[in-house]
Amino acid sequence: MENFRRVQVVDEDDGQPLPFKNLHPDVVKMRVKEGSKIRNLVGYAVTHMLSEENGQIVFSAYGRGVTKAVTCVEILKRKIGGLHQVTKVQYKIVQEVWEQKGPKVQHPAPRLNVQKNYPSINILLSKEPLDPQEEGYQPPQSMALKETGKRFPLSHSEHCAPKKKTEESEGCY
């Protein structure tokens, strides 16, 4: 592929409806990419969710952006609290067009079309209750964590599995 360069990327799934039932018409769709800044995404999402009475927001990502989308959702759930979540995982088809560098030769072909399947995720967060029977549903977190917004450190005995005492190890490291 060193003799080719990518000239076009066609996202065949653009314009497809979101895979969720009963979405509000004003739902905000956040497209998370590999280079997106988490601070910007979460800042906009928090502002939107606090200003809307029945706020819903969808985070969509594929490829390397999936982990960043999940991170944004987890931060948002801890900042706002009481959010219902539905997660849908699927594959996204991306068509890439590669063109030959340098002098054009008819043998092999001067252009290549490559079809790639990337894992993708769509996560719906909503203030109002969603259908708990829908696949991928997660209820809001418990109130104790939401009220304080802090994580409680585990004691030494809670995070260390009981081990047989040996001469070399006295504790959990």
Do residues 64 and 76 make contact, with C-beta atoms less than 8 angstroms apart? no
Q: Which stretches of the chain drop beneath a pLDDT of 50?
A: 143-148, 151-159, 169, 173
Helix, strand, coil fractions of the chain, as percent rounded to 5: 25, 30, 45
* Domain presence at residue 35: yes
What pLDDT score was predicted for residue 96? 87
What pLDDT score was predicted for residue 164? 53
* Domain presence at residue 136: yes
Residue 129's domain is classified under what CATH number? 3.30.110.20
Instruction: Look up the domain containing 50 and give its range.
Output: 4-142
Full-prediction pTM beyond 0.85? no
128-166 pLDDT, tens digit each? 888 888 889 899 886 444 444 554 444 444 445 555 555
What pLDDT score was predicted for residue 145? 45
What pLDDT score was predicted for residue 154? 41
Task: Look at the chain and report how many structural domains it folds into.
Answer: 1
* Domain presence at residue 102: yes
Do residues 147 and 82 make contact, with C-beta atoms less than 8 angstroms apart? no
What pLDDT score was predicted for residue 151? 47
CB atoms under 10 Å from CB of 60, counted, come to 22
* Domain presence at residue 116: yes
What pLDDT score was predicted for residue 167? 52
Residue 8 CB burial class (10 angstroms; 0-12, 13-18, ≥19): exposed
What pLDDT score was predicted for residue 23? 83
